[in-house]
Amino acid sequence: MIAAEGLTKRYGSVTAVDDLSFDVLPGRVTGFVGPNGAGKTTTLRMALGLDAPTAGRVTIDGRPYGAYRRPLFEVGALIDAQALHGGRSAAQHLLALAHSNGIPGRRVQQVLKRVGLGDVAGRRVGGFSLGMRQRLGIAAALLGDPPVLILDEPVNGLDPEGIVWIRTLLKSLATEGRTVFVSSHLMSEMAQTADHLVVIGRGRLLADSSVEAFVGRTSRNEVRVVTPQSTELAGLLTDHGVHVRAVDGERLVATGTDVSTVGRLAADHRIVLLELAAQSASLEEAFMELTRDSADHTADFGNMDGAA
Amino acid sequence: MTTTEHLQRMAAPTGAIMPGVLRAEWTKLTSLRSTRWLLLITVLLALVVSAVVTSVYASQYDQDFAARHTIDPAYWSLTGLIFAQLGVGVLGVLTMSGEYGTGLISTTFTAVPQRRTVLVAKAVVVSAVALVVGAVSSLGAFLLGQLVLSGKHIGAGIGDPGVLRAVTGGGLYLAVLAVLALSLGALVRHSAGAIATVLGLLYVLPAIGAILPPSWQDTAVPYFPGNAGLAILHAVPMVNAAAPWTGFAAFCAYAALAFTAALYVLPRRDALPK
């Protein structure tokens, strides 16, 4: 389990991560989602002991990362797939990592096979595509067969086949009982991969819930109606405590209700309906809605989450 | 809540982590082509410059030359190390700054959060390599130089006073230089900046020293890093130079200072500069 408590990181006057508290539980894939610059990478770097929090703390299975003496057996991490020395082969890169934690050298071939790089083990990584580098980074995370995985934007640069592959891999790792914490700025991607979501914007926690609950909570469940008696229906709905968002000629949009309620109400009052449709916001729309106020597009803050 | 109950897990080894970290750093250093190139350049510069310098001295040597110069054939043959140190200096810097440049340092510190252990392991590995390559360069340059000088019957033997110290000193100097350069790489964190700093210490500072007032020449200037370290290459005592072991000790002190500073800041800074 990963636990953040009041985690805060400030760079001068800029607050990249702001009093963030959440738990990431084992046995499921937890998506860590937020717009670029929301503070995802900074949070993950603090979890891995790379950057020091200004305040608060983050622990992995109860201990700060720095307390682990051979952490690759506890936590597998992918922080930046591009962070490789192009002159080394994939196998050499992994072998050095394996040695550093006393992991047997035979694991190198095993994990390279598992990520589909078995045939290019001896090739210099300088010639690897971003997709291959992502796979190599995941191989590195799997070296010590760790119960906790922390992956920063592992889907970036993967082709459709690679995206399906990693989705399946993450789910199977979670099914094995591991803690899987995956960041992404794409809510649609996480909708298909994650069971649970931790959503942040501007370094603040916006949501910590299951994917279904997140959609339910943030989306407006709307009913679109087309009727010649739109004014009459609007009044009727309002009388029944339903919020009518817009009336435009024959069209109206009611929120916080469902088609059966609206349909029955209209029939009871002999109102002619020409069209009646449920309209639920997609996950991406829910995400946009939630993070609209927190999305930050200024150049300097945008770097917070990027290559930095 | 913990996953350990139902997960089959690999058993982590127990005991000190240093042996594994040393193996990791050895693997990293030896798996790069740049390492082999820099070490080859080190050996070649030592040999080629030695051959050129001793050839020039051999061709100019006569009674007049002997009167005007300190006759130190061992040192003449080792002057190549003044250039060869460039290879080891760059290697030392890159061993650390290369990881900052690629971002690999994050992966390294994720695998080994004990950052000081990483720095010590890098220092052991790179200085051991520099010691071996330095010893080979030094002995090779000495033998080649004496071969050239033997034509004029002015060569030095390994048993002559101070000669063994000068020849072994070449290897020792490069081993300590590797630690100094590594430490500067860890402190500066940018390859170009750290290499410029090393060049400044080894070449620019002595050049500035040479034009300082005479009162400095026999007090401060001999203890500038490059000057102090290279004093050990002299078999015959020099004026305006530190005594060989004194100079070498001063050079070790510079390296120790830089290494200590790197050990101090490494765990205190974020892994990558913001």
Give the pLDDT confidence score for residue B225 in this predicted structure.
Answer: 93
Contact B27 A147 (CB under 8 A): no
DSSP A206-260: EEEEEHHHHHHHHS--EEEEE-TTHHHHHHHHHHTTPEEEEEETTEEEEES--HH
Yes or no: say if B125 and B27 are a contact pair by the CB < 8 Å rule. Answer: no
**A77 interaction partners in chain B (CB closer than 8 Å):** 110
- Regarding beta strands A222-226 and A251-255, do their DSSP bridges make them parallel or antiparallel, or are they unpaired? antiparallel
Look up tokens 């220092």; give the residue: B123
Distance of residue B200 Cα from the nearest chain A Cα, in angstroms? 27
Contact A144 B1 (CB under 8 A): no
| Six-digit token string for B123 | 């220092």
Give the pLDDT confidence score for residue A299 in this predicted structure.
Answer: 39
In this prediction the ipTM stands at 0.91
Give the pLDDT confidence score for residue A50 in this predicted structure.
Answer: 96
Distance of residue B159 Cα from the nearest chain A Cα, in angstroms? 44
Please tell me whether residue A15 adopts helix, strand or coil conformation: strand
**B102 → closest Cβ in A49, A52, A84:** A84
- Write out residues in chain B with pLDDT < 70, as ranges: 1-6, 274
Give the pLDDT confidence score for residue A281 in this predicted structure.
Answer: 65
**B99 interaction partners in chain A (CB closer than 8 Å):** 85
**B6 interaction partners in chain A (CB closer than 8 Å):** 177
For the beta carbon of residue B5, count every other beta carbon within 10 angstroms: 8
Its pTM stands at: 0.87
Q: Residue A300's closest chain B neighbor by CA?
A: B274
| Six-digit token string for A37 | 């610059």
Distance of residue B116 Cα from the nearest chain A Cα, in angstroms? 12
- The end-to-end CA distance of chain B, in Å, is 36
**Continuous segment of H or E residues that includes residue B259:** helix B244-265
Contact A100 B21 (CB under 8 A): yes
Distance of residue B270 Cα from the nearest chain A Cα, in angstroms? 4
Q: How many CB pairs under 8 A join A and B?
A: 129
Q: Residue B109's closest chain A neighbor by CA?
A: A50
Distance of residue B20 Cα from the nearest chain A Cα, in angstroms? 5
Give the pLDDT confidence score for residue B38 in this predicted structure.
Answer: 97
| Six-digit token string for B224 | 């500038």
Q: What is the pLDDT along chain A (308 residues), one digit of tens a residue?
A: 999 999 999 999 999 999 999 999 999 999 999 988 899 999 999 999 999 999 999 999 999 999 999 999 999 999 999 999 999 999 999 999 999 999 999 999 999 999 999 999 999 999 999 999 999 999 999 999 999 999 999 998 899 999 999 999 999 999 999 999 999 998 888 888 999 999 999 999 999 999 888 877 766 678 899 999 999 999 999 998 888 877 788 899 888 788 888 999 999 999 999 999 887 666 677 777 777 766 554 434 434 444 33
Distance of residue B199 Cα from the nearest chain A Cα, in angstroms? 24
Give the pLDDT confidence score for residue B144 in this predicted structure.
Answer: 97
Look up tokens 């693997």; give the residue: B27
Q: Residue A98's closest chain B neighbor by CA?
A: B24
CA distance A165 to A19: 35
Contact A71 B25 (CB under 8 A): no
Give the pLDDT confidence score for residue A119 in this predicted structure.
Answer: 97
Give the pLDDT confidence score for residue A306 in this predicted structure.
Answer: 40
The answer to whether residue B16 neighbours chain A at the CB level (below 8 Å) is no
The answer to whether residue B109 neighbours chain A at the CB level (below 8 Å) is yes
The answer to whether residue B274 neighbours chain A at the CB level (below 8 Å) is yes
**A66 interaction partners in chain B (CB closer than 8 Å):** 113-114
User: For residue B155, what are the CA distances in angstroms to B49, B52, B149, B168, B236?
Assistant: 17, 15, 5, 18, 13
Contact A83 B104 (CB under 8 A): yes
- Regarding beta strands A196-201 and A28-33, do their DSSP bridges make them parallel or antiparallel, or are they unpaired? parallel
CA distance A101 to A80: 20
